[in-house]
Amino acid sequence: MILSELQLALPEIFVATMACVVLVADLFVTEQRRGFTHTLAVLALVFAAIITLRVMMPVGESLLAFSETFVRDRFGDVLKLFAYLVLAGVFVYAKHFLRAAGLFRGEFYSLSLFALLGVMIMVSAASMLTLYLGLELLALSSYALVALNRDSASGSEAAMKYFILGSLASGILLYGISLIYGATGSIQLGQISDALAAGMSDNLMLSFGLAFMVVGIAFKLGAVPFHMWLPDVYQGAPAAVTLLISSLPKLGYLALAIRLLADGMGNMHDDWQAMLAVLAALSLILGNVVAIAQTNIKRMLAYSTISHVGFVLLGILAASPAGYSAAMFYTIVYSMMSAGAFAVIILLSGNGVEAENLDDFKGLAKRSPWYALMMLMIMFSLAGIPVFVGFFAKWQVIAAAIQSGFVGLSVLAVVTAVIGAFYYLRVVKLMYFDEPDNAAPVTAPIDFRAVLSVNGLAMLGLGVFSGGLIGVCVRAFA
């Protein structure tokens, strides 16, 4: 059976339609019935998953469409499925917070769906133009989401910073793209790859283009020294939005990096490996060390993100299928861990006041043993302690890096992971070893509790039975 081009892009078309439907439908929903918008958005994700699953690409095959600007392959399909999953979790977590904070509006859902669409387009991009299109769609939705609470000064400041630095990054990336186009004569990733394989004369232009592209990617991922926006945005945005931008876009940025560097510029891997190595090393060191000094948990998790970006880069720079699949596994797992951690922050926030300070976690084990246990598993998973899934993510990345000869960098990575363990342990310490400041029981709606429990237990379950997801990621690059 030959799938028509439109059919290949059916998930994207569906999500785009649903984003518009949600936008319009919400206009007819009263404040009290806003739950309808929420349900509609979650249903959209469920059906998007069904549509994607129905025509999963077989392992090792890929189909190009729309004048070779769009690609459908196993890697993309798997990433998209996890993007739906993560966003569905985010919706459930966010509803609780948005209600309490008086931000429960339809825009959150339509903007989030547009952000998802951006991620999906990036994931399926076969040309640099498509990539850029997806990136901007994601970025613009994110800027607006950060400013969701327009009366909050810190939120507006964060949105402004995010917008200016994000635009700068997009500009730099675009400049890199134009240089590569100038040197190779194409924006189609496959053709760029062919042109590079055929041997290019204008090496200077290519190197410049590559450097600009790597800087653009590093900006988006938040790799040191292009990380400055990240802690401020994480802290300034409402917790529900931080939850979103700390999880979903990472899947898209991973695709951005792999599509551009591996698919497009694979032949120049010597050049970008060296650049990524520096970025990874700096991110690992700075992220882990500076996180220790934080007293605001959103900021702490922001620096923790930076250190995890270091690990993802370590996987990518291995420049081998093992490395890409390790980075993919890491990103998927990371987005779940991050979503879970921010969910617990939301859980502890009440009456519109965010539980931003580490001290808000004091004695959680006494107030709510179950959620303390979930947070404990998420923290140990982030720290990379077996048998939690975060360990298997780190381990695969290190294995891939060592295989490609980056032994020194791998040793650095594990040493910084030990430093990083300290601040995750501190959260556990606050929850389990300290007495609570207030004894108010922790309450949340049933759907929130169910999803958080599944999220926390997944840290353990995916770890004990890690073979399954590892296999999925490895086959994505077969």
Partner 1 sequence: MSAMNWPILSLIVWLPIVTGVAILFLSESRAAMGKALALAAAVAALVLTLLAVAGFDMTTAAMQFQEKTPWIEAFSINYHLGVDGLSLPLIALTALTTVIVVIAGWTIKDRVSQYMGAFLILSGLMSGMFAALDAMLFYVFFEAMLVPMFLIIGIWGGPNRIFATIKFFLFTFFGSVFMLVGLIWLYLQSGSFAVADLHQLPLSLTAQIWIFLAFLIAFAVKVPMWPVHTWLPDAHVEAPTGGSVVLAAVMLKIGGYGLVRFSLPIAPDGAAALDWLVIGLSLVAIVYIGFVALAQRDMKRLIAYSSISHMGFATLGLFLTFAIVQNTGQTDGAVLGISGAMVQMISHGFISGAMFLAGGVLYDRVHSREISAYGGVANTMPWFAMFAVLFFMANSGLPGTSGFVGEFMVILAAFKADFWFAFFAAMTLILGASYSLWLVKRVFYGEVANDNVAGLSDLDGREWTVMVVLAILVLALGLWPYPLIEMIEPSVANLVDHITNTKINP
Site for partner 1, rule CB under 8 A: 373, 380, 385-387, 391-392, 395-396, 398-399, 402-403, 407, 410-411, 414-415, 417-418, 421-422, 425-426, 428-429, 432-433, 466-467, 470-471, 474
Distance CA 95, CA 101 (A): 10
Distance CA 72, CA 55 (A): 10
* Beta carbon nearer to partner 1, 267 or 320: 320
* Beta carbon nearer to partner 1, 25 or 425: 425
Shortest Å distance, C-beta 475 to partner 1: 8
The Cα-based distances of 90 to 45, 95, 407, 411, 451 in angstroms read: 12, 8, 37, 34, 10
* Beta carbon nearer to partner 1, 28 or 433: 433
DSSP string covering 390-428, please? HHHHHHHHHHHHHHTT-HHHHHHHHHHHHHHHHHHHHHH
Shortest Å distance, C-beta 327 to partner 1: 15
* Beta carbon nearer to partner 1, 130 or 325: 325
* Beta carbon nearer to partner 1, 220 or 394: 394
* Beta carbon nearer to partner 1, 302 or 376: 376
Distance CA 181, CA 10 (A): 29
Shortest Å distance, C-beta 328 to partner 1: 13
Shortest Å distance, C-beta 380 to partner 1: 6
421-455: b or e for each residue (b if 16 or more CB lie within 10 Å)? bebbebbbebbbeeebeeeeeeebeeebbebbeeb
Distance CA 406, CA 319 (A): 11
Shortest Å distance, C-beta 378 to partner 1: 13
Which residues, 6 or more positions from 44, have their beta carbon under 8 angstroms from its beta carbon? 14, 15, 18, 19, 21, 22, 113
Shortest Å distance, C-beta 423 to partner 1: 11
The Cα-based distances of 137 to 51, 76, 344 in angstroms read: 22, 18, 29
Distance CA 333, CA 250 (A): 11
Shortest Å distance, C-beta 337 to partner 1: 16
* Beta carbon nearer to partner 1, 117 or 314: 314
Strand ranges in 53-95 using DSSP code E only, listed in sequence order: 62-65, 70-73
Shortest Å distance, C-beta 220 to partner 1: 29
Return the number of other C-beta atoms located less than 10 Å from residue 260's C-beta: 27
* Beta carbon nearer to partner 1, 237 or 300: 300
Distance CA 397, CA 413 (A): 10
